[in-house]
Every structure is written in C-alpha cells, then in structure tokens.
Amino acid sequence: MAAVTEGADVLLPQGDVITVDLAHSTVRELNAALHAPDAAERASTWLVTSPEGKHSLACGLDAELTVEIAGHAGYYCAGMNQRATVTVDGNVGVGVAENMMSGSVHVRGSASQAAGATAHGGLLVVEGDAAARCGISMKGVDIVVGGSVGHMSAFMGQAGRLVVCGDAGEALGDSLYEARLYVRGSVKSLGADCVEKEVRTEHLDELAALLLRAGRDEDPADFRRYGSARRLYHFAVDNAY
C-alpha cells in the first residue's frame, strides 16, 4: 500500500470518492490499491479515469468495493471478480469479468469476445452488444446482454443463465451442458446439441428477476428459451469418426 500512496497525489481521498487517473498512475498501482485490505473502507467509490483501453483494470478484486471506470477498458477487465461492483462507462475488450465468482460487472457500452468466460457466479450486464463466444464455458454466472451476441456464445456452458435482448449469432449454445439461454431476437443457428425449449412459469419468473436486476424493461414473454438436449453427455458410436 505504501508504494501506492507515496508520491501518488491522485490516490488521496476526495471525500467519499478516490480517483485514480491512469494518465498518471499505472494499472499495477491501481490494482494494488484495490487489493489493499482497507480498500473498501477508504472510499465508497473508486473512480478510474483515463483508462484509454488499458488491460487488466480492476482484476482480482475480493472485497465489497464499488469501482467506476470512466471510459473504455481493454482485455480482462474485472477478471476473477469476487464481491465487488464494477461499472465501465464505455466498451470493454476481450474477456470482461472472466472467471467472475461473485459481485457484479456492468458495461454501459459493448464488450469484445469471451465476455464472462468461465465465470462461476455474479452478474455481468452488457448494455450494448457482446461479440463472439459470450459466456463461453460459463459455470454459474448470470449474463444479461442488452444488444446482440456473436457466434459460439455459451459454448460448452455448464451452469448459469445467459439473457440476450437482441439477436444471437451462429452456433448458439454449442455443446451446452446445463446453462439456460434466453434470446429475445433471432438466433442465426443453434450449435450442436442446443435446442429450443418450452418457456414455463418458472422460466418467466427467473427471467423477470434477471431483467430487473440488470435494470432492463423488456417483457419476459418476448423471449425464447434454449438449452441442452443432453445427447452429448454419453458416448454414442454415431459421433465417433
């Protein structure tokens, strides 16, 4: 912590908000400050300015922190998040909130590939579009995308929910295990073993709750549900080459 604050005027508290200007501080200094044991006590909000698409912002957090990134972030923003609430007022690069365990990550712009990859828990909201492989190998995270998602989204998803308010690209839910997928718009194509499923009352209820948590006003009745046909769980000789 000492190494972070010494000489770094930008880290001095400004009321309840601590501003870290990445035009003057390094990403390593930012993340070290956010990892410090007293980070949550020092400020109600950590404001990150001049992110300019830098990588690995607010990674590996494990405290009830509120972090706001004022601009576009690069790769792996808020990766491995636990408990923290991270908001990005811009676009994010590859792998936002990858392997998130808990907490929430909210992107006001669009996300690049592999948003929420392998994430176990928490809520990822992308207001714009998410590119290819959104929710790849998701393991329990909830992802709500206000726009559309790219090809191979939820590939090998194992648990969690993916809500797409726009359209889905090719091969949605390829080799899916148990994640539940909701899409409001069109689906370009379904991946291997992904099928459309009946929307029952419990699905409308969980979808309504997810949309509410994500701050969206879409009608759950407009969505269709997709999931695993469970035909790839066991070896079938017809699938052998």
- Residues in contact with another protein by CB under 8 A are 52-55, 72, 74-75, 91, 93-94, 110, 112-113, 131-132, 150-151, 169
93 vs 160 by CB, closer to another protein:
93
132 vs 190 by CB, closer to another protein:
132
Question: Minimum distance from CB of 170 to another protein (Å)?
Answer: 8
Closest-CA residue to 77 (of 53, 50, 108, 109): 53
The CB-based long-range contact list for 163-169 (8 Å cut-off, 24+ gap) reads 163/207, 163/210, 163/211, 163/214, 163/223, 165/216, 165/218, 166/129, 169/132
Question: Minimum distance from CB of 126 to another protein (Å)?
Answer: 13
**What separation in angstroms does the CA of 172 have from each of 1, 8, 11, 133?**
45, 47, 44, 9
74 vs 103 by CB, closer to another protein:
74
91 vs 99 by CB, closer to another protein:
91
Question: Minimum distance from CB of 80 to another protein (Å)?
Answer: 20
Question: Minimum distance from CB of 228 to another protein (Å)?
Answer: 22
Listed in sequence order, the residues at least 6 apart from 103 whose beta carbon sits closer than 8 Å to its beta carbon are 61, 81, 82, 83, 84, 85, 86, 122, 123
